[in-house]
Structure 1
Amino acid sequence: MTGNLLKFAEKIKRKTDKIATEKNKTDVLLYQMLPKQIVINLKTGTSSIAEFFNEVTIYFSDIVDFTQLGAESSPIEIVNLLNDLYSLFDECIDKYDVYKVETIGDSYMVASGVPTPNGWNHAPEIALMALRIRQEVNGYDIPHMPGRTLKIRIGLHSGPCVAGCVGTKMPRYCLFGDTVNTASRMQSFGIGGKIHISSVTQEILSHHGNFITEFRGLIDVKGKGQMATYWLEEFQVAKHV
């Protein structure tokens, strides 16, 4: 009888351990899709409260001539291209204090300073990440088009925003506000292979030192009027004498 009880207990333990392992896998996946506190709120039925963040920096990028590229490619080729490219991006952003917000088609959005505030580090973290992504993508060969390389436009802007989880089916953690719109404008008014930043982001980076920027000039931005913008060129590592 004792032997049977031990076997039964071992069987229960194996099943319990298996359930715990599967639950952990599910949690890891959910934490990659939504902030941890949002996941906890959804599990417990607690409503998520929108938060105001006073200082964040937002990154947008897209693929130059993506519409034409799509017209010349099969659906599976486009999916494989985006999966390969954004897997590369995902590896890059893991090295910085940033949060991947979403990808929509060829658009990739990342923020720093949200959902966890990080003082004045949001701009340099995003800037370093953007420089790393540009370096990785520079000369990227389109897998199904030998001899053709891909370029991306990158735009950055800093400021306040509101963030929160919206929807009950496939809920999404979204950012709202003029900062988001302006960051998107920096990307859309940029040039392939360049990192286009607002004067606000440039001002923050100037206080951190070692970021090399070039004044682009005044440009007429839809919905914003005349804006002074810059190109983020590089991060110069300080040399110790």
Structure 2
Amino acid sequence: MLGYLDALKTIQYEIRHEVENTIREGVRALNSEVVVGLALLVIVLLISPIIILLVRMVTRTLQAFSETLLEKTHELSNEKKRSDKLLYQMLPPTVAQQLRQRKQVSTEVHESVTVYFSDIIGFYELAAESTPLQVISLLNVIYKMYDSQIDCYDVYKIDTVGDAYMVASGLHMRRPDTNHAAEVAHMALDLLTGTENFVIPHMPGEKLKIRIGIHTGPVVAGVVGTKMPRYCLFGDTVSTASRLEYTGQPFKIHISSATRSMLEPTQGGFIVVPRGEVDVHRNKPKMETFWLVGRHNDTKKRKEKMERENSTKVSGSKKKKGNPSVIKKILCK
């Protein structure tokens, strides 16, 4: 029994020694883990302000970039609108869209179109007595006046060559039920009225004299060229309108019988005076032509327009800022 007790004590001592060693190793491991955790905590506490600062900097950079991107997008949208507006002034919207899509623009045949031509009488003599800058300034003022007026009508400006001004109606009309001959007639009367009192800036003693020719008939329309495409009209109607303008007289609107027949059913009525047969084309028979003198209710409309203009000027003097589009709509009525 004593031998067994001695052996048992020896085993107990060994077990206790083994347990103590295990506990010591566990304590050491826990201490090392705690030290590592504290070290990591210290590192995180030291790095966290830097991380927060970097996040704030990145956030501000992203905000500034988004604001800049939004501003550039807005500028790009405005530039696109301006380029579209400029493109639509050179080409009809349908034709411009086809060219943008790289499609082949087909030639169009229009059965009835009214073509307007006007030029300045004695322009080359006037240009010879003026400097190039004066000629350019004069044409710029005249075309600005014409362009602001034709926006009031359902017409399309085709071309300007020197002092010649060409407009057509019936090609791509905003209102299909509109009488295109009446639109051109109204426009011609208003342009003539605006030109009657026009004084040449560098020659105050001289007045601008224009003559106008209008003809209605079929035309062929198409885009000519690829580098600088131009929308052109072809056909006898164009040449006839040009010849009517050439054989006209100062401050008169020379129209053909085809245009007159379209103006007859127009509500309100135009004042048309026969001119007689005129040799418009050299190798063709004479044509019966007419003078477009005015409108039956033109006096009343002019009075109302003057009253609107006066009221607009009075209200514009009271208010420093106005809406040009609203004023333009009032003057176009």
Same fold (TM over 0.5): yes
Is 1:193 aligned to residue 251 of structure 2? yes
SS for the counterpart of 2:279 is strand
1:170 positional shift: 1.3
Is 1:94 aligned to residue 151 of structure 2? yes
Please show how residues 212-223 of structure 1 align to structure 2 within 5 Å.
212-222=271-281, 223=283
SS for the counterpart of 1:232 is strand
Q: Which residue of 2 aligns with 1:48?
A: 105
1:100 positional shift: 0.5
- C-alpha distance in 2 between matches for 1:235 and 1:37: 34
Q: Which residue of 1 aligns with 2:194?
A: 136
- The structure 1 residue matched to 2:179, chosen from 88, 108, 121, is 121
1:148 positional shift: 0.7
Count of equivalent residues: 239
Is the strand fraction higher in 1 or 2? 1
Q: Which residue of 2 aligns with 1:107?
A: 164
- The structure 2 residue matched to 1:232, chosen from 289, 292, 299, is 292
Is 1:33 aligned to residue 93 of structure 2? no
- The letter of the residue matching 2:270 is F
- C-alpha distance in 1 between matches for 2:131 and 2:176: 42
1:119 positional shift: 4.5
Is 1:14 aligned to residue 102 of structure 2? no
Q: Which residue of 2 aligns with 1:207?
A: 265
1:6 positional shift: 2.4
* CA offset digits 1:55-87 (Å, max 9, x no partner): 110000000111111111111111111110111
* CA offset digits 1:136-161 (Å, max 9, x no partner): 00131111112110110100000111
Of residues 205-214 and 99-108 in structure 1, the stretch that sits farther from structure 2 once superposed is 205-214
Of residues 223-232 and 153-162 in structure 1, the stretch that sits farther from structure 2 once superposed is 223-232
Q: Which residue of 2 aligns with 1:158?
A: 216
- The letter of the residue matching 2:250 is G
Q: Which residue of 1 aligns with 2:81?
A: 24
1:237 positional shift: 1.7
- C-alpha distance in 2 between matches for 1:120 and 1:158: 14
1:225 positional shift: 2.1
8 Å Cα contact 1:154-1:187 kept in structure 2: yes
- The letter of the residue matching 2:223 is C
- The structure 2 residue matched to 1:64, chosen from 114, 121, 141, is 121
Q: What is the TM-score of this pair, normalised by structure 1?
A: 0.94
8 Å Cα contact 1:60-1:107 kept in structure 2: yes
SS for the counterpart of 1:114 is coil
1:18 positional shift: 1.9
* CA offset digits 1:88-137 (Å, max 9, x no partner): 11111111110010100000000000133834611000000000000000
- The structure 2 residue matched to 1:82, chosen from 127, 131, 139, is 139
8 Å Cα contact 1:113-1:119 kept in structure 2: no
Q: Which residue of 1 aligns with 2:45?
A: none
- The letter of the residue matching 1:19 is L
Identity of aligned residues (%): 49
SS for the counterpart of 1:7 is helix
Q: What is the TM-score of this pair, normalised by structure 2?
A: 0.69
- C-alpha distance in 1 between matches for 2:65 and 2:72: 11
- C-alpha distance in 1 between matches for 2:142 and 2:84: 25
1:17 positional shift: 2.0
CA RMSD of aligned residues (A): 1.6
Q: Which structure carries more relative contact order (alpha carbon 8 Å, separation 6+)?
A: 1
* CA offset digits 1:215-234 (Å, max 9, x no partner): 00111122432110000000
Task: Compare CA radii of gyration and give the structure with the larger one.
Answer: 2
Is the helix fraction higher in 1 or 2? 2
1:200 positional shift: 0.8
- The letter of the residue matching 2:123 is F
